[in-house]
Structure 1
């Protein structure tokens, strides 16, 4: 049964915080809104918020450790009372800023500090986080705000945009599903071995993902064929009777994701695990068309889910980081509670 969508009402952020205009009414499953256009070859693939961190929370630092797990670098954050008190295993998948981001590490620590979850956050990019294009973005904003119309500024602006897009495209080509999924499978194998008590206690592995990592929560929460493709027909995939490749069950017991990027309608195929989804209103990185198709798939296939749309906040708002706008701070805390409570309840 689909929970009614709710939204955290927030006005447009200050000039330093990119956001979408606020709605006058909270978003809902029955609200009539103009769908965002489907992504095209010229549509953005990753937001600046996916590749650059906000300032870290004042006075906070990470408390976990980085080490190898099945030959993959991971950040591990444990509850204070673990292993004396039982915990469940949570796989946290980041946006493009990756493993070394202090904000991502603090995000993992927050889930661990609740006391219910031992958090494993893998390096999805093998030491190659997304190119930080904030300098190009700041120059673009400076030229646009100055109102300059000189040919030189126009040329420089176009060059900055082209360079930013090229760097992101090249980075995405290095981090495809064919590379990321096997890495995640190694991490899951190692985590099930080392933290078998947490897996047993939770009855499986839980997952939470942001931006780039959010798509992989969808893939891991789905029944997939042995070759890695999602099973679009459903069922157990008996290869002797149906003459098709055998399938692997979902790798997650339950998942939560926030402001996903690079997600297509097909990525919902085969989804089985309960899912909580945090969305940004009018987000070109996760268009309404894709979101609605995902909701329809989950509803028609009996996948327990909730989808909540937050207006007036920037893409990436749910990741730890400071904002001047108090309403964005409230939305960030609300989104965290949404995801945490969903995982705890499942």
Structure 2
């Protein structure tokens, strides 16, 4: 997440253009009058945004776990994204993966770009870039699988009881993940050793011999423009998975995606992959994009992910 040029109008970005709609770092503007229809509640002392189908509980919707990018559960855009799935019949649960610590914002120069910036301006931009990179790296270091997975499992345990009807209706839990959240959809879609699930050990480290495995925790998943994803995480998925990606995305490199998809194919995993060109990282989450081409592809990505979930 250290790239200075990534998705300055996308919800995953830590750049701001003036006052944001929700006050959360990086949240892009939403249409005037736009308001989310769900509510924030707590499960196991964890903030969770819940958005229900209009006719629930008369008609039980399938339970959908939505994992956000760095802007988190209080982002208006993320809440509206959850509402879109609720409007399609899903009971959406969107947990605060960051324990009240969403991605920070750091100020960079807003002066008009010069064709040939002075040496001093180049130095200023360089310093801002380093500061921004350091700030985001420190934030990421606070939110590792050892910290995030126990939060997710605590929420899953609670909602399985609270919304047992929705879990039963769908035959399990569905999940979508954007940016940061995409990595965790993949982890929830895999068998993990018990000490990884409990946060006692990082997924990439060596397990003790004979360690009991758990999972997967979901029955079907869809991810969009993931960050920090590894080939082994893609290869470890054991439930049907849909992947939305951005061509030449520095946060989800082509070679990682290609090698991971190749492993899925070898494992005989049911999957769907679509790579979008001419869009920024983060494009699939609702935001204020002036470019109609981006808006159109955002709708296409939502349709792809929604269609995948409904088909399973």
Q: Between 244-253 and 175-184, report the one with greater CA deviation.
A: 244-253
Q: Could you tell me which residue of structure 2 aligns to residue 320 of structure 1?
A: 286
- What SS is found at the alignment partner of 2:158? helix
Deviation, 1:251, is 0.5
Q: Deviations over 1:199-246 (max 9, x none)?
A: 0111100000000001000000011121227699xxxxxx9xxx6212
Change (3 A) 1:160 1:53: same
Partners in 1 of 2:235 and 2:204 — Cα distance? 7
Partners in 2 of 1:57 and 1:258 — Cα distance? 23
Structure 1 stretches of 4+ moved >4 Å: 42-48, 229-232
Match of 1:279 among 245, 249, 255: 245
Contact 2:6 2:280 in 1 (8 A): no
Q: Could you tell me which residue of structure 1 aligns to residue 18 of structure 2?
A: none
Change (3 A) 1:63 1:195: same
Q: Deviations over 1:90-133 (max 9, x none)?
A: 00000000111000000000100112x10000011111110123
Match of 2:174 among 194, 198, 206: 206
Contact 1:57 1:320 in 2 (8 A): no
Contact 1:78 1:118 in 2 (8 A): yes
Partners in 1 of 2:252 and 2:288 — Cα distance? 23
Match of 1:157 among 107, 125, 128: 125
Deviation, 1:44, is 7.6
Contact 2:61 2:91 in 1 (8 A): yes
Partners in 2 of 1:301 and 1:261 — Cα distance? 23
Following superposition of structure 1 onto structure 2, how do residues 12-51 of structure 1 map, counting pairs within 5 Å? 48=8, 49=10, 50-51=12-13
Return the TM-score normalized by structure 2.
0.88
Following superposition of structure 1 onto structure 2, how do residues 178-327 of structure 1 map, counting pairs within 5 Å? 178-228=146-196, 244-327=210-293
Q: Could you tell me which residue of structure 2 aligns to residue 132 of structure 1?
A: 105
Change (3 A) 1:43 1:192: same
Contact 1:45 1:262 in 2 (8 A): no
Partners in 1 of 2:226 and 2:139 — Cα distance? 17
Partners in 2 of 1:332 and 1:157 — Cα distance? 31
Q: Could you tell me which residue of structure 2 aligns to residue 121 of structure 1?
A: 94
Change (3 A) 1:129 1:46: farther
Return the TM-score normalized by structure 1.
0.80
- What SS is found at the alignment partner of 1:68? strand
Q: Deviations over 1:60-107 (max 9, x none)?
A: 211110010121100000001000111111000000001110000000
- What SS is found at the alignment partner of 2:132? helix
Size of the alignment, in residue pairs? 292
Match of 1:62 among 18, 30, 36: 36
- What SS is found at the alignment partner of 1:121? strand
Q: Could you tell me which residue of structure 2 aligns to residue 33 of structure 1?
A: none
Q: Deviations over 1:257-307 (max 9, x none)?
A: 000001111212421010000001111111111001111111011110000
User: What RMSD over aligned residues (CA atoms) do the two structures have, in Å?
Assistant: 2.3
Partners in 2 of 1:216 and 1:169 — Cα distance? 18
Deviation, 1:59, is 3.4
- What SS is found at the alignment partner of 2:195? coil
Contact 2:7 2:280 in 1 (8 A): no
Partners in 2 of 1:102 and 1:146 — Cα distance? 34
Q: Deviations over 1:164-214 (max 9, x none)?
A: 011001101111110000000001001101001100111100000000001
Partners in 2 of 1:302 and 1:225 — Cα distance? 22
Following superposition of structure 1 onto structure 2, how do residues 85-96 of structure 1 map, counting pairs within 5 Å? 85-96=59-70
Gaps spanning 5+ residues in structure 2: where? 14-25, 197-201
